[in-house]
Amino acid sequence: MTLRRIRIQGLGVIDDAELELSDGLNVITGETGAGKTMVVSGLGLLLGARADAGMVRAGTPQAVVEGEVDVPATHPAAVRAEEAGGDATDGLLLVRSVAAGGRSRAHVGGRAAPVAVLAEIGEHLVAVHGQADQWRLRDADQHRLLLDTAGGSEVAEARGAYERAYEAWRASVARLQELTRTAAERAVRVGMLRGALEEIEAVDAEEGEEDRLRAESERLTHAEELRSAALLAHDALVGSDDPGPDQPSVTALLATAGAALGPAAAHDEELAALRGRLDELAYLGSDLAADLASYGTAVEVDEERLAEVHQRRADLTAVLRKYGGSTTEMLALARRFADELAEIDVSDDDLAELRRSTEALRQEVARTGAALTAARTATAERVGAAVTRELSHLAMGSAEVSVRVEPRWVSGDAEDGDGGAAATVVLEDGRSVRPRPHGLDEVEIRLAANPGAPARSVTRAASGGELSRVMLALELVCGDGTVPTYVFDEVDAGVGGSAALDLGARLATLARTAQVLVVTHLAQVAAYADRHLVVRKSTDGQVTSSGVVAVEGAEREAELARMLGGVADSDAALEHARELLSRRATMAG
C-alpha cells in the first residue's frame, strides 16, 4: 500500500509538477517560496480537504491534483472506492479539481464521486501531521485507539471480553425495557395478538386455497353448461346415437377422405405423406372424442357442494380482509404474530428471571470494564514514559507526555429503575460509571511542555511543529503499521543541531514499516531520505512557476549544501553534506 505518484497542476506557484514517490522516507526540500507547502496542500485536496479557489494559480482555469496508489483489492480504501462505483483492480487513481470560480470535483477510480468519499478513502491511506491537520490528536477516540494499539494482545483480549459482555447486557436491557414499558400496553398488545391468531387459526386456511375455491365455484356454477358443451362436441366428432340424415360426423368425413386417397397414395410419395397426416387427424379426433365423453360424464351438478364452496369462500374472505389480501400473506402475518407473542407474553416469574440475568450481565460489564481500565492504565504509564523519551531526542527534552485513563463517573442518583440500569454500572468501590461500547474510560493524551507546567490536552499544549513531533513519537511508540503513508509538515520547526539528526533518524525508523513523506528545511533530516525531491522555481521575468525534480548523487549533495550554508557550491558545505550522507549510509547498513 504505497502512494506512488502525485501530479499537481495549476496550484499556487506550481504550474505542472509530478512527484514520483518510493517506499521508505521521501523528503521534499526547496528554497523559501518555491512551493513546498503547495505539495502538502495538494495532497490535502486529494484527501478531501476543503477547497479554496484562492489556491488556483492566476491565469489558470482550474487546479488539478492526481494521485496513484498501489493498494490491494481487499484494502478498505479499495473496497470504499468500489462501493462508490470506481475501479481499483490495478491500484487506485484519485483526482481532485478546483475551478477558479470555486467549484470542486472529485473522481475515484475513474468515476465521479462526492468529495466526502475522497476523505473517507484518505483516512485509510494517509495520516497528515501538520499544524492544521492533527485530526488524530483532535479526535478523542483516536487517543484511545492509539493507546489500545500500543497495549497489544493484553488490551485487545481485555477489550474483547468487555465488548462481548457489553453487547449481551445491552441486548438484555433492551428486552427488559420492551417487556416492562407499561403492563397495560403490553397486555393490550398480547390480547390483540392472541385474538388475531385465534381468528386465523379458526379459519384453518391452506396456502393458495382461495384460488382453488374460486376455480371450483366457477366449475360448479356452470356444471350443466360445461357438460352440454362437452357432449355436443363429442357428437360432432363421432356422431350421436341417433344421427339425422344431414349430420355427418368428423370421423366419418375423415374416413371418407382417407378412402379417397388410399389407392392413389401408393403411386406418389407426396400424396402418401398427405394421407399419413390425414390418418393422424383421424386418430386425434377419436382420442379427443373419448376425452370429451369422459369429461362430460364426470361433470356433476352438485348444489349442496356449491353451497359449501360459497360459504367457505365467504368465511375465508372475511378473514383475508383483516389480515392480508391472500392466504400466503395472512399465514406469513400469523407467523410474525406468533413470534412476537412468544417474545412479549411472559409470566411474572420469567420477567423476574430476566431482571436477575440482566443484573448479572451488568455486573459482568463492570468486572470486564474494570479489567480493561487496568490494562489501559498499565499501558498508559508505559506509553507516556516511552513517548517522553522519544521527545527528548526531538528537541523537546523538557516536555513530558502522560496518558490519562479515567472512567466516566456519574452521580448515584442517575440510577433509577430499569432506565438507570440501562445507563450505568457500579464498580467494586460503589461508584457508578457510564459504559460505552469501547469501555468505561475516557482516554486523553496530555503534554506538559515545560517543567512545572500543568499537563493539558496535547492539542492545546503544543505548537504546530511540536504537535508533529509528538505525533511522530506516538507513531513510533504506538503505531501498528495499519496506516500506509505518513505525511509530516513543520515537524522540524524550531529544531537544529544534533536534534535535527535525531529527528531524521526517527523519521527513517518509522519509514522502515511505512511510507513517510516529509517537507523539511533541514539538511540533517533530508540526508536520511530514500528519495529526495526538490521543489524549484523558475521565472521568465514576468511569471514565476515551480516544478519538482528528484535529485541523486552530486545534485543531491549540492541541494544538501545549499540547505546547510545557502550556497550549493561551497566546499565546506559540500563536505558537510557528504558527511551527512555517509552517516545515513552507515545507519542503513
Distance separating alpha carbons of residues 421 and 356, to the nearest angstrom: 12
10-residue averages of pLDDT along the chain (589 residues): 87 88 92 81 87 87 92 88 89 92 90 90 80 60 87 94 95 82 73 88 88 88 88 84 69 86 86 90 90 86 87 89 87 88 72 85 93 95 92 86 89 49 78 92 88 81 75 82 78 81 89 89 92 84 72 92 78 88 72
Asked if residues 344 and 186 have their Cβ atoms less than 8 Å apart, the reply is yes
CA distance to 128, 502, 522, 529, per residue, from 509 (Å): 18, 10, 17, 11
Asked if residues 84 and 109 have their Cβ atoms less than 8 Å apart, the reply is yes
Which H or E element spans position 285? Answer: helix 269-298
What lies within 8 Å, CB to CB, of 142 at 6+ separation is 135, 136
Distance of CA 367 to the CA centre of its chain: 32
**How do beta strands 531-539 and 25-30 pair?**
parallel
Asked if residues 47 and 80 have their Cβ atoms less than 8 Å apart, the reply is no
Cite the DSSP H helix spans in 324-416: 327-344, 348-392
Distance separating alpha carbons of residues 109 and 111, to the nearest angstrom: 6
Q: What does the pLDDT read at residue 372?
A: 96
Q: What does the pLDDT read at residue 388?
A: 92
State the angle between helix axes of 183-203 and 303-323 in degrees (0 to 180), rounded to the nearest 10: 160
Distance separating alpha carbons of residues 308 and 331, to the nearest angstrom: 23
Q: What does the pLDDT read at residue 552?
A: 92
Burial of 454 (0-12, 13-18, 19+ CB in 10 A): exposed
3-class state of residue 124 by DSSP:
helix
How do residues 27-53 score in pLDDT, each as one tens digit? 999 887 777 888 888 888 888 888 888
CA-closest candidate to residue 320, choices 309, 334, 305, 330: 330
Residues pairing with 447 in the sheet: 401, 456
**If you write DSSP's letter for every residue of 77-100 in order, what string do you get?**
HHHHHHHTT---TT-EEEEEEEET
How do residues 430-482 score in pLDDT, each as one tens digit? 888 999 999 999 999 898 878 878 888 877 776 667 777 888 888 888 876 66
Q: What does the pLDDT read at residue 134?
A: 54
Distance separating alpha carbons of residues 102 and 51, to the nearest angstrom: 8
Distance of CA 172 to the CA centre of its chain: 27
Distance separating alpha carbons of residues 408 and 435, to the nearest angstrom: 7
Instruction: Give residue 17's region: left, alpha or beta (phi > 0; psi -120 to 50).
Output: beta
Distance separating alpha carbons of residues 478 and 573, to the nearest angstrom: 37
Distance separating alpha carbons of residues 385 and 150, to the nearest angstrom: 13
Q: What does the pLDDT read at residue 24?
A: 92
CA-closest candidate to residue 395, choices 525, 514, 511: 525
Distance of CA 77 to the CA centre of its chain: 10
Distance separating alpha carbons of residues 237 and 228, to the nearest angstrom: 14
